[in-house]
Amino acid sequence: MGITKSDIGLIRVLFPEEAPFEQALRKVFPNFKIVKNDSACSEIRIQFTEYFSGQRIAFDLIMDLQCPPFYKKALKEIEKIPFGKTATYAEIAKRAGNAKAVRAVGSANANNPLPIVIPCHRILNTGGDLGGYGGKLERKVYLLELEGSL
């Protein structure tokens, strides 16, 4: 996985299939200066390691969430879903202030720049089906099993 930090905070989490990461980042942030600095991301790496080893159930990171206002609102609601729990797109739309915005929540979820940290894998279809996952369905199943919610 790739993790990227701005001067503000965590700005992007990349899955292996997005490699080479620098090339993927240049597409999203064409005007940013990209500098490889592993030590700048050490706390982020530690928290990811703790999460994947079962020692962490919530991330405590400063985020630089760059997305449209409703996406940000929806992702902030998704961030509140506790470890080991799930919610539906409809529930998140309602919590975000617009019960009719189910598709917009789906779009925000699909474009989540901080997967795992903002746990978009915890979102299920209204009927309780897994639905899709931008980071591959097998990864969603793995994450839900890791959290004991599947």
The tokens for 94 are 């309602």
Distance, CA of 150 to CA of 142 (rounded, Å): 9
Distance, CA of 74 to CA of 55 (rounded, Å): 27
Kindly name the residue from 10, 44, 81, 120 that is annotated as catalytic: 120
| Residue listed under structure tokens 């409703």 | 70
The tokens for 101 are 């915005």
- Catalytic site includes residue 67: no
CB atoms within 10 A of CB 11: 20
Question: Does residue 2 contact residue 21 with C-beta atoms inside 8 Å?
Answer: yes
Q: Which residues are catalytic?
A: 120
